[in-house]
Structure 1
C-alpha cells in the first residue's frame, strides 16, 4: 500500500539571527549585573523552601545559597554564552542555549527577590504545573486540529463553555465525573459546529472560531449572571482531589510536583505520550499529518480528507473540554465569568512555540505556566515591582515568543486552507 512520507529539515540559523540572539544574551547578563547582582549585599543568603505547603510526602531540604556569589556566577555564564553566540553561534543548539540563558536569568531574578528572605520554590513550581494544565491542553487541542489543516482559535470559547457546563452539571448531580463528561460534551458540540462551518461550508476558519468565542463569552456570561451567581447551589461543584501515586509521590521534589496531584495533571502526561506516539509513529498519525501537509496527495492515495479533518477537530474539542473542566472541577470549584482569561489563546502560542508537536507544546506550556506562577508569587513576596507589570508577565512572554525570538516554526503546509475535492 502506498504511503506518504513527510520530510522536515533543520532550519539554518541566519547570521542576523545569530547576532540578535548574542546581543539578547549579552543584554541579559548586563541586566543581571546592574539590576540584580549589584543590588544585593555581600553576605545575604537566599532561602528556597523545597516542600509545598500541606504535603508530608517527598519532603526535601531547603536550598540556602549565597545571593551575591550565585548572581555573579550566573551573570558570568550568561555573558560567556552571549559572547560565543555573537562570535560563532551554536548552530542548531541556539534555542537550547537560549533556554539555558533564560533559566539562569529567571533564577537570578528569584535569587535577587529572595535575598535576605525565603521563598517556597517548590510551592511555586507546583502552582506553575497546575497553571500550565489548561495551557498545555489548549496547545494539544491546537496540535490535533492544525496538524490536520484546520486552524482552531475557538479553543478559548470551547474551554470557557466547558468550564461553565462542568460547574453546572457537577453542582446539580454532585458528581465530578458527570461534570467532566458534560464539559467535554459541550466542547465537542462547539468543535462540531466549527468543523461543519470550516470543512463543509468552507467558511474562513478564523471567522468561524471568532464567532464561537463570541458566542461562548456571551452565553456563559448571561447564564452565570442569571443563574449561577444567583443560585449558589448551581455553582458549587465537587473538585477532583489529590491522588498520590504510591512510591513515586515519595520522590523528593519530583514527587510533590508530578506524582501527588489531581487527575488533570495525570491526564496531561497521558495525553502527551498518546499524542506524541500516535502522531509520529503510527499510520493513523501519518495520515492525519498528510492531510495537513498535502491533502490532494492524501486524497489521491485513498485517505478521506474530510473525515480525517472532522475527526481531528472533534478530538481537539475533547481535549479542550478537559482543559475547560480543569478550571471549575480541578481548581477553584466554581465558575466565574471569563475565568479562562485567554488561556486558550496562550495555548495556541504554546503550540506555535512547540513547533506543532505535543512534546514541544508541553514544555512551552510549562514555560507559560511558570511565568504566571512567578508573577503571582513575587507579587505576594513584595519586590517593589508594580503589580500591574507582574500581571502582564505571562502575556509579555507570549508576545515575545510569537515575535519570533526562538526562531520560525514549521507550520503544516495546508494549515487553514479549505480542501476542494476535484
Structure 2
C-alpha cells in the first residue's frame, strides 16, 4: 500500500500586481491646444513683428523691450507644443502621470505664441500690466475659492459663494462710507459673509435641506435684497452711503522695485497681502494641523469621525461660517479696492467661477488658487488685447473666461473627486 507524499503548501509570498490604468486626459487636452495652434497660427497666419514691453515709465529698473518675428515664433512654439504633447502621450502609455511643471511650461509657451500672434504689428504687449490685471481680477475669485475649499472639505456644497461675495461688497461699501474707515468695511464684509453662511449651514445641516437648492436660493435672495436696498437706500444719497474710502497701496520697500514681479506682487493694497496670507493659512491648516484633520475627516467619513468623538455637524457648521467670512472678504475687494462703490449685481457671476476653480483645483487650496489665477488671466486678456488694438473679436474674448470654466468643470484636464461625504447630510444614528 503506497502512501501519498504530503503536500507542502508554497510558503513564498503572494505578489499582487497593480493593474495598469492609463489616463489619456492630459495628452488629449494638450492635443486640443496643439490643433488650435495649428489652425490659428497657420490657417490664419500673421506676418510682421510683435513687441513685448516688460517695464513701465515709473519703474526704478527698466528692462528693454523684446521684439520677435511673429510667424517664426508661432511656428517654433507650435513644434515645441507638439513635442510636449507627444512626450505626454508617451508617459501615459508607460502608465505615468504628466508632471504639472510640464503642463505649466506648455501653457506659458502657448500663451506667448498667442500674444505674439494677436499683437503682430500692433502696440507693444504690456506684460507687467497683463500680470497686474490678472492679480487684481483674481482677488475675489481666490477668496471665494478658498471659502469653497473650506466648506466642501467639511462636506457642505457651497453654491452660495456668489451671495457671500455680493453681501460682502454691499455691506463693506455702506459701512466703510458711514464710518469713513476701510478697516471697518473689511470687518463688516466678513460678518456679512458669515451671516449668509449661517443660513446655508442652518438649512443644510440642521434641517437637512438639499445643499445645492439652499445655495441657489441664497444667491437669488441676496441678489434681490441688495438690488432693492441699492435702489431704495444707496442710490438716493450715494455720497453719504455709497462712497467708501479706497484701500491705499502699500509698496514693500526693495521688493516692489524688482522688475516685473515687484509691481505685480509687492506694490498692492492690504487685501492682496491678506490673500497671500489666507492661501498659506488655509493650506497649512488643512494639511498640517488638527483642525484640518478634523475638517477633512467629517468631509470624507463622518461616521468614523463621530466614533472618535468629533462633533460632525458642529464642525461643519462653524467651518461653513468660516468659509463665508473668507468669501465675504473677497466681496469687499469689489467696493473698497476695485470699483469704489456698490452697484447692482456687481459680482457678475464670479462666485460661480470661484466654485469652478474649487472643482478645477480638486478641492486643494493651492490648485484652486492657480485655477482662479487662470480665470483672472483669461478675463484680463480681453482688456489688454483691446488696448494694443488687436483684431481678435471682442465677443470671443468676452466669452473666453466662461469657455475656460466649462472646460475645467467638464474635467478635460483630469479626474476631479470631491470629498466622499460632500453634499451628504449626516444623521447621527
SS in 1 for 2:68: strand
CA distance in 2, matches of 1:350, 1:287: 24
Equivalent of residue 160 in structure 2, options 146, 151, 154: 154
The question of 1:23 aligning with 2:27 is answered: no
1:187 alignment partner, one of 180, 190, 193: 193
Deviation for aligned residue 1:405 = 1.1
Query: Where do residues 2-401 of structure 1 align in structure 2 (5 Å cutoff)?
Result: 14=22, 16-17=24-25, 20-21=28-29, 23-35=31-43, 38-41=45-48, 44=49, 46-52=50-56, 55-57=58-60, 59-87=62-90, 89=92, 91-93=96-98, 96-117=101-122, 118-233=124-239, 234-401=241-408
Following TM superposition, by how much is the alpha carbon of 1:367 offset from its aligned partner in structure 2, in angstroms? 0.6
> 2:233, 2:213 → 1: CA distance?
30
- Per-residue Cα deviation, 1:143-196 (whole angstroms, up to 9, x for no partner): 000000000110101110110111111111111111111111111111111111
Q: Which whole-Å CA distance do the structure 2 matches of 1:58 and 1:338 have between them?
A: 41
Distance in 1 separating the partners of 2:191 and 2:27 = 49
* Aligned-partner Cα distance in 2 for 1:72–1:289: 47
Please state whether the residue corresponding to 2:248 is helix, strand or coil.
Answer: coil
Shift in Å at residue 35 of structure 1? 4.4
| 3-state SS in 1 of match to 2:222 | helix
Contact 1:58-1:256 at 8 Å conserved across structures: no
Gaps of 5+ in 1: 1-10
Q: 1:58 to 1:243 in 2, by over 3 A?
A: farther
CA distance in 2, matches of 1:180, 1:259: 20
Asked if the contact 2:34/2:78 (under 8 Å) is kept, the reply is: no
Q: Tell me the TM-score normalised to structure 1 length.
A: 0.91
Question: Would you say 1:417 and 2:407 are equivalent positions?
Answer: no
Q: Distance in 1 between matches of 2:317 and 2:87?
A: 48
Structure 2 length as normaliser, TM-score? 0.90
User: 1:51 offset after TM fit, Å?
Assistant: 2.9
**Superposition deviation, residue 251 in structure 1:** 1.4
CA distance in 2, matches of 1:31, 1:125: 27
Query: Are residues 58 and 283 of structure 1, via their aligned partners in 2, closer, same or farther at CA, if it must alter by over 3 Å?
Result: farther
Distance change (3 Å), C-alpha of 1:273 and 1:206 = same
- 1:254: Cα distance to partner? 1.3
Give the distance between the partners of 1:15 and 1:311, measured in 2 at CA: 38
Instruction: Determine if contact 2:88/2:98 at 8 Å carries over to the other structure.
Output: no
Q: Distance in 2 between matches of 1:267 and 1:347?
A: 18
Looking at structure 1, the residues matched to 183 and 204 of structure 2 have their Cα atoms a distance apart, in angstroms, of 31
Counterpart CA distance in 2 for 1:230 and 1:12 is: 67
Q: Give the count of matched residue pairs.
A: 407
How many Å apart are 1:25 and its aligned residue? Answer: 4.3
Q: CA deviation at 1:20?
A: 2.7
8 Å Cα contact 1:32-1:75 kept in structure 2 = no
Residue 11 of structure 2 aligns with which residue?
none
Task: Please tell me whether the aligned partners of residues 346 and 398 of structure 1 are also in contact (alpha carbons under 8 angstroms).
Answer: yes
1:29, 1:76 within 8 Å by CA — same for their partners in 2?
A: no
What is the SS of the residue equivalent to 2:198?
helix
Q: CA deviation at 1:28?
A: 3.4
Given that 1:57 and 1:255 are in contact with CA atoms closer than 8 Å, whether structure 2 keeps it comes out as no
| Superposition deviation, residue 68 in structure 1 | 2.8
Q: For structure 2, which runs of at least 5 residues remain unmatched after alignment? A: 1-18
CA contact (8 A) 1:58 1:249 kept: no
Distance apart, 1:119 and its partner CA: 1.7
How far the C-alpha of 1:386 sits from its partner, in A, is 2.5
Name the CA shift for 1:13/1:321 in 2 (closer, same or farther; >3 Å). farther
SS of structure 1 residue aligned to 2:92: coil
State the secondary structure of the residue aligned to 1:261.
strand
Describe the superposition over 1:220-241 as per-residue Cα deviations: whole angstroms up to 9, x where unpaired.
1111122222212121100111
Give the Cα separation in 2 of the matches to 1:89 and 1:156. Answer: 38
Quote the offset at 1:284 in angstroms.
Answer: 1.2
Q: CA deviation at 1:255?
A: 0.7
CA RMSD of aligned residues (A): 2.0
